[in-house]
Structure 1
Amino acid sequence: MSFDECHPDPRAGNGYVVKNRLAACKMTNLRYQRYACPEADCPIIGSASARVTVIFNMQPEQRRAVVMHKLYDIHYNGVPDSTQLGIGMSCEKVNKGTAYCDEPDTEMDKSIAEWKDEPIDFQVLTMHGEDAPNPADNPRIQAEKRTSYLHTRHFFVVDPDDTERVEDTPLKVTFRCDVGRKLSASYVLGSDCVFPVIAKFLLDTNDSSIKDAASLITQAMHNYRSTYPGLTQGDFVPGRFHWNSGLRKPPLTRLYHNKAAQDANRTRAEQSCAEHWGPGYRDRPDGKTNDCFAYPFNSTTQGANAKPPNTPHGQGYAVQPVLSDASRLLNVAIDRFTYENHILDGDQYWILIPD
Structure 2
Amino acid sequence: MVRPDGSPCTSPIPRSRNLPNSSGTRRTTSQKHTRALRGSTFQDSKGRRTLHRAYYDTKLRDANRRTSVASCVKNWGPDYTVRDDGRTNDCDEYPFATTYEGSFTVTDSMIRSYAVRPVLSGHNQLVGSRLSTFVAEDHLLDGDAYYVTAMP
| TM-score normalized by the length of structure 1 | 0.35
Larger Rg computed on CA atoms: 1
2:40 corresponding residue in structure 1 = 236
2:123 corresponding residue in structure 1 = 326
CA–CA distance in structure 1, aligned partners of residues 127 and 100 of structure 2: 18
Count of paired positions: 141
1:301 corresponding residue in structure 2 = 100
CA–CA distance in structure 2, aligned partners of residues 198 and 305 of structure 1: 28
Q: What residue identity is the alignment partner of 1:337? A: F
User: Is the CA contact (8 Å cut-off) linking 1:269 and 1:294 kept in structure 2?
Assistant: yes
Greater RCO between the two (CA within 8 Å, min separation 6)? Answer: 2
CA–CA distance in structure 1, aligned partners of residues 13 and 20 of structure 2: 10
Deviations 1:293-327 (A, max 9, x none): 1011000000010122x33x422100000000111
CA–CA distance in structure 2, aligned partners of residues 212 and 199 of structure 1: 32
- Identity rate, percent: 30
* Higher strand proportion: 1
Q: Cα distance 1:271–1:295, how it changes in 2: closer, same or farther (>3 A)?
A: same
Equivalent residue of 1:255, what SS? coil
Q: What residue identity is the alignment partner of 1:272? A: S
Instruction: Give the alignment partner of residue 84 of structure 2, picking from 285, 297, 310.
Output: 285
User: Is the CA contact (8 Å cut-off) linking 2:13 and 2:134 kept in structure 1?
Assistant: no
* Higher helix proportion: 2
| TM-score normalized by the length of structure 2 | 0.78
Deviations 1:178-210 (A, max 9, x none): xxxxxxxxxxxxxxxxxx836656453256479
Q: What residue identity is the alignment partner of 1:316? A: S
Q: Cα distance 1:203–1:336, how it changes in 2: closer, same or farther (>3 A)?
A: closer
Q: How does 1:8-87 map to 2 (within 5 A)?
A: none
CA–CA distance in structure 2, aligned partners of residues 211 and 287 of structure 1: 15
CA–CA distance in structure 2, aligned partners of residues 327 and 238 of structure 1: 24
Q: What residue identity is the alignment partner of 2:92? A: F
CA–CA distance in structure 2, aligned partners of residues 341 and 250 of structure 1: 19
Q: CA RMSD in A?
A: 3.1
Q: How does 1:1-355 map to 2 (within 5 A)?
A: 197=5, 202-205=12-15, 208=18, 212=22, 227-228=33-34, 230=35, 232-236=36-40, 245=46, 248-308=47-107, 310-311=108-109, 313-355=110-152
Deviations 1:143-185 (A, max 9, x none): xxxxxxxxxxxxxxxxxxxxxxxxxxxxxxxxxxxxxxxxxxx
Deviations 1:74-99 (A, max 9, x none): xxxxxxxxxxxxxxxxxxxxxxxxxx
Show structure 1 runs of 5+ residues with no match. Answer: 1-19, 22-195, 214-225
